[in-house]
Structure formats: C-alpha cells, structure tokens
Structure 1
C-alpha cells in the first residue's frame, strides 16, 4: 500500500491537537506524513504540535497569514508529497486501526474520493440518534447528490487538482461541493468506518439547530446551486 499525506487544519486548537496527533502516532499503518496548516492561531497550537516531532518524524507545521478552512486544506494539498490525501479537522479522534482499514478499503473499492461517517461513542443517546439520522442521509445521498463531513475526507492529488481543490469562495458546505464535483469524474462512496470529533459545536449551537442549518443548506444547494454569496450566514471559528 502506498503512503498518504494527512492534512490537518487548525485555529486555536492547543487543547485538542495533541489528542489527534497522539492517535496518529499510534496507527497500525505508519506510511504517512502529517501536514499541519495553522490559520495564524492566537494560542500555542503550533508549539504543542512541534512537540510531536519525535513521535511523527514526517511532520510539517505551516502557518498561514490569512485564515480560511478551504484555503488551509488547499495549502496543505500543495505541500503534500504523496498522491493519496486525507483532510482532517483538529478535533477529530481516530482508533489505531483507522488508517489501515481505510487504505485497504480505498484500494479494494478503487476510490479516489471518499467520506467517513460520524461516530458517537461515549456520547448520549440524543447524540447517537442525531448522528444516526445524519449518517443515514449521507449514505442515501452518496448515490445522487454526494455530501460529506469536511472533518474527514479522503482524496487524491489528481482528483484534487482536476476539480480545482476546495472552492475558497464558498463559506458553508464547501466540503459537500468538493465531493459532489469530484463525483462527476471519480467514483465516490462512504467508507464503512467512523471518526469521532469533539461535540463542542453541537453543544454550543445546539444539536437540533445545527442539524436544521445543514439540512436547509443542502436542500438549498440541491434546488439552487452552491452558496458563494453567504446566502445563509453562519459563523465559523467561534467555538469555546
């Protein structure tokens, strides 16, 4: 199996980035590099990351002067040395066999681009129900209107370049647009795997409110196309 470039975007994640980097250092599949792209954090995110160099020898820490989720992912892809890409958010958690299972499945299914379902381990039944409903939507729409969770997306250099990377003009659902555009040329499917992530976004904005926001956004995208003029205002980077 070939090596993979893992791109992690960060913004003031000093309290969470160590957990993800620790998970990566324990993966059973170790043929990867880590490219951490920081959006000029105000805290110690990059210093915390630098401490993982002994555990992750192929670690690159790059700081941007301008902030932006899509800009960060595109920057990381340009710095990547390997064909296979994995885009992660800083608050993601992975079990130690995640990469091993994912790479095997990507190879056997011949997938260029793939999404991953959200896991709800150690969360309340309310969250488990919400996640199950959301994952059901991801499963159903992958066949006719692909969507994905930007916190964990697999891609390749050739697919990424062909579609022009993540559209930096789109504020909301740029991840869904990415996989939808890629699926026009490449086969897209969800891997039968899950990743965990910090539920702070859901706790702060409300599980129902956030779910409704993304439902409305994707219905609007389906009917009228992508939102490049901030048609649905949503503030990112405000989580406690």
Structure 2
C-alpha cells in the first residue's frame, strides 16, 4: 500500500499530462501511485500513460464528462494511499516535492495541506503574466500564493493533499462546478479538521495560456465566491470585494472625467505603472511585466464582474446557484 496517491483529472490535455508524468517520474521520494481520471475526453491520453507505465504505478479510469470535482471523487475511490494528493494536469512538480510533503505529514498533526504555485522559468510570457496576476499581493492579496495573512488558508485543488480517511468522512468534493475546492476546504474546517500551508511544497502551474479563457475562469470564480458565501455564511471577507471596487472605481473615474475634468483620466496610469513596476521586481523580465498589466486587469475585471453578477442574481434576485461560460469547464 503506497503512502501517497496522486489523483489527476484530465480533459483533452495529453501533452500537459505527459509533462506532469515526467516530473512525477523524477520524484526523489518514490512511495506513491498515480490515479488518472479521463473526464470524457475526445482525445484520450492512453498513449501517454502507456509511455510511463513501466516507470510509474498508474491506474487509468474513464468517465463521462462531469467536471473536475466528480472526476477527483472517482479517482479517490480507487486510490490506495494513506494520503490523497490532488493536482491539475497543467502542473509540474519539482523533484523534491513529495520528499518535502512526506517530511511534513510524517507527524500527522494536520489533516489537509496545500501548497503555493508559481510559474516555471520555461513557461511562455502569457503564462508567467497570468501566474503573476493569480498570486501577486496586488491582485489577490497573495492568498493564492504563499501567504495566509488576509484570510484563513483554504487548500486549493491544483495542489491539495488530504488524509484518505478524512476525505471519505467528508464525502469527497461536492457537486459545485466552480469553487468546489474551496467548498471542500470550508466543509473540512467546519467539521473540526485542520489545514496546513506547506510553503516549500509548491507546484509550477501553467494556468490558462490566453486571456479569453483566463477571463472566463476568473469570472466564474467571482460568481463562485457568492455561491460559497451562501453555502458557508461568514466566509466572504473584505478582500474578496476589492476587484468589484476596482471595477466601480474605474467607472467613477470616467464619470469624473466627463462631468468634472478630463485630467482625471490620468488616474488610469496609476495601476499600470504600479503593476508593471511590481511585476518587474518580482519576475525580473520586462516582457512579462508588460503583459502582467493585461493579466492583472483581466483578473480583477473578470472576477469583479462575476462577483457583481453573482451578488445581483443570488442575493438580490434570490435565484438558485449558477455559473457562466458553462459549456465546458476546461476551456
């Protein structure tokens, strides 16, 4: 029986999966298995799995497309590890990832852990810029990176580990299409289980590679935050409203420019200059820092607009849980 089971949902991402499996094959700690769940892909990844069948202990499962949460639940049912580790197919793991995790869970003084993510030096410019936007203190307060200061730490499913006994007691992930990982962490904490941020156990996360799909992702995240607040009263924090205030602030500047003075439009330079300077300091790359401005605006406007729609539809109109851009989660 392995100590760890990596569970990976996949949808039409065989090339990315191959890169992830390569990094798993290089892990310095070897007591683990890999459970891959093909979530209704039109282009299955069996050839990639065959390539690594002699290097890794792999279980390959298939199901109709149901989304990542149900796919992870399917994988967990077949997993044999004492700890389940959920990672996304677009992640890469440093060679010592599992070695670090094993050192931390050895004492078992926590029930669930998560780690930060960061862009790999070999990622393209857009991926690095989006990675900055999703982890920067200027855009998300750092709560998706390696900081816990602005909110309770909720492990997220691109890098989440949980004891199998706890996962079973929790009943796995819920039927939420978006925000299911936060819902899981919130339910876990409500039941008295503990979480831990292992800062050294980071993954290289590619995320989306174009702004259109990135916008859809963060828009749904904004809606999901309202859905989560309704499911878990009191989890909505002031930091979550910042993107919406950012959207409103830009609208207010336009109104001032129209009815007071066009000089107010100069205020639009503040955010790009600040973000570019900060991104340059963080990444050391001029090209990435320039694109980071576009990524930051996409992140804040996408999340903020989704948050506003969720607030209106759920809180004001009182309608049922919903999400946008729902034709396919992975696109």
Q: TM-score, normalised by structure 1?
A: 0.84
Question: Greater relative contact order (Cα 8 A, min sep 6): structure 1 or 2?
Answer: 1
User: What secondary structure is seen at the aligned counterpart in 1 of 2:120?
Assistant: coil
Unaligned runs of 5+ in 1: none
Residue 141 (structure 1) shift: 5.6
Q: 1:212, 1:65 → 2: CA distance?
A: 25
Q: 2:5, 2:77 → 1: CA distance?
A: 11
- Number of aligned residue pairs: 232
Unaligned runs of 5+ in 2: 233-313
Q: Equivalences for 1:169-188 in 2 at 5 Å?
A: 169-184=175-190, 185-188=192-195
Which structure: greater strand fraction?
1
Check conservation: 1:142, 1:188, Cα contact below 8 A.
no
Check conservation: 1:5, 1:86, Cα contact below 8 A.
yes
Q: For structure 1, which segment, 131-140 or 86-95, has the greater mean C-alpha deviation from structure 2 after superposition?
A: 131-140
Q: 1:81, 1:177 → 2: CA distance?
A: 24
2:29 is equivalent to residue 29 of structure 1: yes
Residue 217 (structure 1) shift: 3.0
Check conservation: 2:112, 2:161, Cα contact below 8 A.
yes
CA distance change for structure 1 residues 210 and 74 in 2, over 3 Å: closer, same or farther?
Answer: closer
Q: 1:164, 1:17 → 2: CA distance?
A: 27
Q: 1:126, 1:82 → 2: CA distance?
A: 33
Q: TM-score, normalised by structure 2?
A: 0.63
Check conservation: 1:114, 1:153, Cα contact below 8 A.
yes
Q: Which residue of 2 aligns with 1:232?
A: 323
Which structure: greater helix fraction?
2
Q: 2:151, 2:109 → 1: CA distance?
A: 16
Q: Which residue of 2 aligns with 1:71?
A: 70
2:221 is equivalent to residue 214 of structure 1: yes
Higher Rg of the two aligned structures: 2
Q: Which residue of 2 aligns with 1:12?
A: 12
Q: Which residue of 2 aligns with 1:150?
A: 157
CA distance change for structure 1 residues 46 and 156 in 2, over 3 Å: closer, same or farther?
Answer: same
2:253 is equivalent to residue 162 of structure 1: no
